[in-house]
Structure 1
Amino acid sequence: MTLLEGYGATETSPVISVNSHEYNRPGSTGKVIPGVKVRIENFETGEDCKVNEVGRILVKGEIVMKGYYDDSELTKEAITDGWYNTGDMGYFDEEGYLWHAGRFKRFVKIGGEMVSLVKVENTLEKLLPMGVSCCVVDVHDEKRGSSIIATVTIEVNKSELLKKMGEELPNIALPKHFIVVRDLPMMSSGKIDFRSVTKIVQEILTNPDKQNS
């Protein structure tokens, strides 16, 4: 049996690209299927990226959903002029194979540098007791662009955690606040609902009396 890699999303019904027996480049997500358009957009300029240049993956075509049920705000965030923002990073190689390079939605720019929220989250998770959950999100910061906020399901020693996290991460990637929540909101898929976590964090930061950070 030959396993062939592909790429897609629920919002794209769901296949965007796929390798085939005729055209197969292991490690890539294959070639874009007929009837689908894919753009690799430069993060800064919004222009099309060059070959082998990593950018934001945008998708257009009949396969793209019309919108999220009863959520016009989220739909506007996801679709612009028919182009669906996958939230992923990727690039095309010289032969037109699409390569996935990670989740852009989980990267933030702080002080001009890109920081991986996944890496921050994984570093924190390793330092927490077994069974304790955490989620790292970003909020707008007037001075630095974004600030990193960590939510955890138990009280923690902030100073001790920051010291240990600093052994693996640069200072710019360390959480500015630790916020304790009883439970982390989850989606029906079983994954953490980052959008809801961000809303909780913003509410607590706006009303400090609701939570000591």
Structure 2
Amino acid sequence: MKLLTENHFPIELACSKIICIGRNYREHAHELSNPIPKSPLLFLKPTSSLINIDKEIALPFHLGEIHHEIELAFLFKESIAMGEEITNEVIHQSIYGVALALDLTLRKKQQELKEKGSPWEKAKAFDRSCPIGPFVCKSKIKDLNDLNFSLKINGHLKQQGNIKETIFNLTDIVKEITTYMTINAGDIILTGTPSGVGPLAKDDKLTLNFESFYELNSMLK
């Protein structure tokens, strides 16, 4: 699939991976009775998890109860190599823009995997587990470190947050990632979800708001 701009033009960048940050909002960690991490908690989603947020989104509900986690997603237009010196300038130059995304999670499966000490891929990396909105070019964003976002389900506010509330900021995250792997041009970083996560159901109507940039409305199938 093609990633899109806020004007719904295709972005000519090929994503090789989605790098996600777990437990990056304190209240979310608390609501799931998880300890606060001492360093960014990384996990990956494959590109097969990506799907554009459209008027309707078909999800694999047959796999089990799917929970919503709304997040801010950063798209990189330039690579940052493993071991490269990381500065705010390097990060800013490398970013294309920011979008809303959903890190969909099979919560019961995730709990089973955690209890076994197993990786989370079965719970986090299934097809269509990363619905993503259009990317707003960074030139239109006043401050990448002060961005509000929210999710309503059937008209009820479920999640809201601001990236400045994260435990680890974007610089911390990029430093941790590039200690172990290269961020390629086209890669996406999901920066974590605020509290309020919960189950989704067929025919739920989602409203995702990203500052004054856009509001997305979608029904689940």
Quick check: TM above 0.5? no
Structure showing greater radius of gyration is 1
Report the TM-score, using the length of structure 2 for normalisation.
0.24
Greater relative contact order structure (CA < 8 Å, 6+ sep): 2
Report the TM-score, using the length of structure 1 for normalisation.
0.24
